[in-house]
Every structure is written in C-alpha cells, then in structure tokens.
Amino acid sequence: MVRSDPEVLWRSKARMENQARGRQEGPYRRPQAKASEKRGFVSMMDIPRVRAELEGKRIVVTNGCFDLLHVGHLRCLDFARSLGDLLWVGVNDDRSVQSQKGENRPIHPEAERAELLAGLRPVDLVTVFSGRRATAFLQAVRPTVYVKGGDYRRETLDAEEREALERMGAEIRFFPLVEGRSTTAAWQALKKG
C-alpha cells in the first residue's frame, strides 16, 4: 500500500535527494519556514489585499515592540481578541525599537518577535512596520477597535496615530497594566544578573 501522507512523501523525497548527493542517512527534518512564510504574517504591501478579504469583520488592532513577552502582553492580547472577530498585531521593526528603547534593544530581532506573536492563541495576524509611529499601519488596516496597554491614555497616544484612528471611527480601548510586569523591568532584572 502506498502512503500519501505529505510528511512521508517529503521524507522520501529528502532521502532520495540525500542519497543522490552522497549524504549520510539521518534524521529528516523539514526546513523551518521564515516568519514571512508562516500563516498569519502579513507584509505591509499585502495589507490592502488581506483587508479587502476581511471586509465586514470587527478587526481589533494593537501594536508595540513586544521585545520580551510577559504575562501582561498575553493578558492584553487576550483582552483585545475578545473585542472583535480577529486580532491583528503591528510589530515595530528593529530600527524603530532601537530608536525608542536604546542601542541594546531589541533583544530579539523583528522576525522572531513576529513569529512568537503569530504563535500565540489570541493573535490572528501580524505585520512588522517601520518607523517610530504606527500611523501607516493603522491607516492600512483600518481597525474597528484599537487597544493599548494601561501605560497609555487617550491624551498620551501619539497625536498623529490618535487623529488617524478618530478619522476612521475606530473605538480606542485601554487594558490595565499588570502590576509588576513590564518589558523594561524584565530587561533591567536580566541586566543585573
């Protein structure tokens, strides 16, 4: 009986290719996909196409550096996801994190931060954006609801981002801070050793 399981077929193909190249037999592992090839990752260029497919959905957006994930991030993402049909997360690229947080940041490169977020249950879509502000990302996605952590208030949101959200009629919500949990505090503790 011939098996048509994709993993078995892939392993058989890999085995034949290795034998043809004279390589030793060994464990066969499918190469890991890059973050940009994984389900849920949407490039800035692809946002218009994906957004058109989601017309009529209640889209919730949040954004940030997400450099050292902690329980506060997860709870905020859970809260955000509960407000709509899907959660789309914008991730600051490496250059913008460095300009905001300092030369030793980001700790993890943008592709890894995006991959980690895409692997979390509440997150449906992830986009890495450039620049210190998320305005272009927000204007492209056009969220129904925008969520930020409790370290922000309407008055402290970037004025350009807030104006863009207000023009599109997005509801702006805030998730309370989780006491004692922040990336900055975690980073300081790691540096102390």
Tens digits of per-residue pLDDT, 131-163?
Answer: 989 999 999 999 999 999 878 788 989 999 999
Give the confidence band of 184 by pLDDT, cuts at 50, 70, 90.
low
Residues 128 and 50 in one domain: yes
Q: Report the pLDDT value the prediction gives residue 177, as an integer from 0 to 100.
A: 75
Instruction: Report whether the peptide linkage leading into residue 106 is cis, meaning its omega lies within 30 degrees of zero.
Output: yes
The end-to-end CA distance of the chain, in Å, is: 58
Residues 81 and 128 in one domain: yes
Number of domains in the chain: 2
pLDDT tens-digit series, residues 77-103: 999 999 999 999 999 999 999 988 888
Among the listed residues 90, 108, 107, 93, the one whose alpha carbon sits nearest the alpha carbon of residue 161: 90
In angstroms, the CA 64 to CA 92 distance is 6
Place of tokens 């989780």: 178
Residues 107 and 180 in one domain: yes
> Domain containing 75: what range?
35-192
If one counts every other C-beta atom within 10 angstroms of the C-beta of residue 95, the result is 13
Residues 87 and 15 in one domain: no
The secondary structure element, H or E, covering residue 106 is none
Among the listed residues 138, 89, 147, the one whose alpha carbon sits nearest the alpha carbon of residue 116: 89
Contact criterion met (CB below 8 Å) for 100 and 130: no
